[in-house]
């Protein structure tokens, strides 16, 4: 068979093209390889941003405490109203104009010694001379308080909460003698026999606390964080008083 030179040339070219490495087409850059995902940083956690209007504070309270006669008259015919004092302290967390407050309060709940008579009792035979011996309320409460500021330095607040109160001291009574409806409040005449034994009065060791307050706020512009409050309300007894506190912004 004669040697076919064109055929041999085509076979050689075909073998060269098969064996040669592929080249990208001129003018078209190769596609970039995908970037590797960054490895997570397990060494440090990202800090949570603190709100600019977040603050914590402490305050001290001083109060005049009262259980008035008109309230006691709903349960008794004759009584001795309470006019006493209380004090306490609180810590609070403030976010904007809202406070969450935890407080501790002491209230002297001992009225003066005197005659008491139930609403349906006979003054001649059932008048009791009652003595409160170091009777007091120790209260722990949590409450919510809102502020409304009229200017940078004056505003008002209002709030409410609940708690638990522990009673200390005790109450004793004696039946009074020589009593009539006309002289039951006169302890120089309607009075117990000194030789008669006293009768202990049963009282609960703990009571629930209802805390309601309303007042005026004063922020001290030249001392950042210092504030004064005048307030009144109900804390198992009516009260009027003042509070001085300090709030620290984070």
pLDDT at 53: 85
| Per-residue confidence band for 14, with pLDDT thresholds at 50, 70 and 90 | very low
How much helix, strand and coil, in percent to the nearest 5, is found in the chain? 10, 55, 35
Q: What is the pLDDT of residues 99-157, one digit of tens each?
A: 999 999 999 999 999 999 999 999 999 999 999 999 999 999 999 999 999 998 999 99
Average pLDDT of the chain to the nearest whole number: 87
* pLDDT tens-place string over residues 16-34: 444 444 444 445 555 565 5
Q: Which residues contact 64 (CB under 8 A, 6 or more apart)?
A: 83, 84, 85, 86, 239, 240, 241
Residues 223 and 158 sit within 8 Å (Cβ to Cβ) = no
pLDDT, mean of residues 176-188: 95
Inter-residue contact 90 to 59 (CB < 8 Å)? yes
Are 208 and 184 in contact by the 8 Å Cβ rule? The answer is: no
**Could you give the domains of the chain?**
54-111+135-167+203-249 (2.40.160.20)
Banded model confidence at residue 7, pLDDT cuts 50, 70, 90: very low
Tokens 């040669």 locate to 20
Higher pLDDT pick, 191 / 193:
191
């Amino acid at each position: 068979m004669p040697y076919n030179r064109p055929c041999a040339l085509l076979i050689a070219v075909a073998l060269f093209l098969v064996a040669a490495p592929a080249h990208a087409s001129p003018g078209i850059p190769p596609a970039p390889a995908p970037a590797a995902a960054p490895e997570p940083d397990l060494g440090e956690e990202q800090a949570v941003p603190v709100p600019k209007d977040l603050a914590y504070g402490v305050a001290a309270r001083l109060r005049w405490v009262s259980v008035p006669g008109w309230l006691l008259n709903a349960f008794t015919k004759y009584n001795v109203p309470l006019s006493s004092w209380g004090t306490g302290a609180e810590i609070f967390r403030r976010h904007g104009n809202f406070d969450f407050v935890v407080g501790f309060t002491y209230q002297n709940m001992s009225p003066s010694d005197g005659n008491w008579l139930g609403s349906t009792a006979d003054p001649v035979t059932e008048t009791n001379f009652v003595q409160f011996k170091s009777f007091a309320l120790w209260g722990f409460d949590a409450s919510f308080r809102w502020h409304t500021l009229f200017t940078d330095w004056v505003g008002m607040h209002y709030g409410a909460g609940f708690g638990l109160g522990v009673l200390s001291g005790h109450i004793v009574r004696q039946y009074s003698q020589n009593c009539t409806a006309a002289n039951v409040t006169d302890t120089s005449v309607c009075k117990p026999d000194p030789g008669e034994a006293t009768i202990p009065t049963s009282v609960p060791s703990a009571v629930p606390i209802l805390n309601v307050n309303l007042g005026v706020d004063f922020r001290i512009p030249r001392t950042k964080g210092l504030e004064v409050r005048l307030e009144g309300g109900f804390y198992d007894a009516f009260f009027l008083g003042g509070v001085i506190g300090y709030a620290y912004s984070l």
